[in-house]
């Protein structure tokens, strides 16, 4: 391991001699604690509504055409035409991140 400064906040990250750098507010977790924390977080994410308009696991459908069957360039143009007005409205203050 090595210690370095974080490129964003300039705080010390990493460690030496296989020991992580101790800092107020940080807790060193055992493997089991980290696994439990990750499992709890993933379970919570599974039960919450996911924001966005593209489903993570697309439902099975019998439709003849879906966005999964589009060419990548077609999908990019559709996204551009969708996001351009949204971005413009955001820059004009007509919509917010909330």
Same domain, 4 and 43: yes
Q: What are the residue ranges in the chain where pLDDT is below 70?
A: 45-68, 98
* Tally of domains in the chain: 2
- Within-domain flag for 78: yes
- Within-domain flag for 28: yes
- Within-domain flag for 53: no
| Whole-number Å distance between alpha carbons of 34 and 28 | 9
Output the pLDDT for position 64. Answer: 53
68: Cβ contacts below 8 Å, ≥ 6 apart: 58
Same domain, 10 and 38: yes
Output the pLDDT for position 24. Answer: 76
0.85 surpassed by pTM: no
- Number of Cα atoms under 13 Å in the Cβ half of residue 49: 3
Same domain, 33 and 75: no
Output the pLDDT for position 48. Answer: 62
Output the pLDDT for position 98. Answer: 63
- Within-domain flag for 55: no
Output the pLDDT for position 21. Answer: 77
Buried b (16+ CB within 10 A) or exposed e, 31-44: eeeeeeeeeeeeee
Q: Which domain does 44 fall in, by range?
A: 1-48
């Amino acid at each position: 391991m090595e210690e370095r400064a974080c490129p964003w906040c300039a705080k010390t990250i990493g460690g030496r001699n296989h020991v992580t750098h101790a800092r107020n507010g940080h807790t060193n977790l055992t493997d089991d604690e980290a696994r439990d924390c990750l499992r709890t977080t993933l379970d919570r994410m599974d039960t919450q509504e996911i924001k966005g308009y593209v489903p993570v696991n697309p439902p099975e459908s019998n439709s003849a055409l879906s966005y999964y069957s589009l060419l990548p360039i077609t999908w990019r143009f559709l996204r551009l035409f969708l996001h351009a007005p949204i971005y413009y409205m955001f820059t004009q203050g007509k919509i917010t991140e909330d």
